[in-house]
Structure 1
Amino acid sequence: MAASIRSGVSSVGIRAAALRTETSFLQLNRMTASPLPSDEDLANLLWRLLYERMDRRLILELLPGLAFLLGNAFGELFWAAGAATAATAAAVGIRWRWDGSVPWLAVSTLVLALVLTGLGIFLGDETFVFIRPTVGALAFAAILAIGALVRPSLLQRTLGYKLRIHAKGWPVLNTAWIALALFSALANEVARRALTTDHWVIYNVLSDPVLFALVWLATRLIAERYWIIESD
């Protein structure tokens, strides 16, 4: 289940950033357990964090997708995938220069894009490009499932300092993320069979913001349900 070249690079950068930052919208307190936030507090925080994201890093996150679209518009699929992979590598390098570190998810998606793009070019098979989102989503679901076997879970280790929710809420959140990843993989398999290549490229780029919104919504609802309320 390899990733196709253009889908591999365009969705890689945006999806990684999306899944990496979505729960930051719920970060109301970095200290100890805090009261359940009101809808107004969450709305204000969402707007503030969205505004703060409108900086140079947002350009880096969108760069692979833009390169993928332009590559597909002016060349063939392999050119698009190559342009997206190069843009992803450049974004990772620039991020390293700016911050002195790069999130592991960004590095892993870059490696996946390089491997699948290379295989697609070497074998001359565009199927690798079309199934890249499927492979990435299934791999992400598998990591979450395996990570749930340890205590605390991988998801809790990653987001525990941002989400102050009860212990019984983490399995629910983990299951929701796995379900959304599997849904994303299934949706791509349906789309790549039902759509033309050009239409699938558009779907692949637009599906990332949609997935981001779904993950954020699920995380917010679950966090509100299991938020640790500070006792007086």
Structure 2
Amino acid sequence: MSRTGDRPTMSRDINPILKQILELGPTIAFFLIYIRIKDDMFTLGGTEYTGFIVAAIAFIPILLAAMGILWWLTGKLSKLQIFTAFVVIFFGALTAWFNDERFFKMKTTLVYGTFAGLLGLGLLRGQSYLAYILSDMLPMRREGWMILTRRLTGCFAVLAVANEVVWRTLSTDLWVKIETFAFPIALMAFLMMQMSLLQKYLIETDTSASGDGSRGKSDG
């Protein structure tokens, strides 16, 4: 059970495939809209916009709708999802206001860079903020959490730098494809590889026991 202010709310599980659709669907929708209108120009309020900027603007309500459905079905949203939505809205608004696609491209750098910075700050304090967020779902010893946090901090930093290189040196078409597919696939592959390497740090839980303290704890 989670709490919103003073009002308790129940977290609910949903079909994992539906959850993935709601989380990844907006990005795929942005890609499809962009591919469809990338060569077109649109006049809105007397200002002419490229297909990329229109697709970026359309991405915002699609993302908010998907997050609203996810919250309605599960009763919760992660802090990372809320932060990402805020960044998308902020940089999407800047993109529309200044009619400059560079703002929307930079948002990916900010998201990955912020994740790297926050995890790195925790490491400097001798803590794993990752464990604080995920330890309930993935019981693991402190040593494992610290290793994973260090590696993920480096991964996010590399992705942030890679995004800067890609959008500044390659075409918009290539950036959209890399942003939509390459970055998420690289991150997913990295995480899957880490889970394999960190198996020895996982804490096994005894689902047949209840209230006997058999479940391990991570001190993150």
Say which of 205, 208, 211 aligns to 2:184: 208
* 1:186 positional shift: 1.7
Query: Which of the two has greater helix per residue?
Result: 1
Greater than 4 Å deviation, 4+ residue runs: 149-152
Counterpart residue number, 2:16: 53
* 1:225 positional shift: 4.1
Following the alignment from structure 2 to structure 1, what is the Cα–Cα distance between the partners of residues 203 and 36?
Answer: 52
Say which of 151, 162, 166 aligns to 2:141: 166
Following the alignment from structure 2 to structure 1, what is the Cα–Cα distance between the partners of residues 30 and 193?
Answer: 27
* 1:94 positional shift: 0.7
Question: Is contact 1:120-1:126 (8 Å) kept?
Answer: yes
Counterpart residue number, 2:171: 196
TM-score, length-normalised on structure 2? 0.72
Question: Is contact 2:141-2:203 (8 Å) kept?
Answer: yes
* 1:151 positional shift: 6.3
Query: Which of the two has greater strand per residue?
Result: 2
Match of 1:168, SS state, is helix
Following the alignment from structure 1 to structure 2, what is the Cα–Cα distance between the partners of residues 170 and 186?
Answer: 24
Following the alignment from structure 2 to structure 1, what is the Cα–Cα distance between the partners of residues 154 and 101?
Answer: 27
Superposed CA offset, 1:15-69 (max 9, x none): xxxxxxxxxxxxxxxxxxxxxxxxxxxxxxxxxxxxx632x22221222112211
Counterpart residue number, 1:147: 122
Residues 72 and 148 from structure 1, CA distance in 2 versus in 1: closer, same or farther, beyond 3 angstroms? Answer: same
Higher RCO (CA-CA < 8 Å; seq separation 6+): 1
* 1:167 positional shift: 2.3
Counterpart residue number, 1:64: 26
Letter in 2 for 1:156: A
Name structure 2 gaps, 5 residues minimum.
1-14, 38-50, 206-220
Identity %: 29
Match of 1:102, SS state, is coil
Question: Is contact 2:119-2:153 (8 Å) kept?
Answer: yes
Name structure 1 gaps, 5 residues minimum.
1-51
Letter in 2 for 1:83: A
Counterpart residue number, 2:194: 218
**Residue 104 (structure 1) aligned with residue 48 (structure 2):** no
Question: Is contact 1:85-1:113 (8 Å) kept?
Answer: yes
Superposed CA offset, 1:130-187 (max 9, x none): 2221111001111112233556531122222343433223221111000100111122
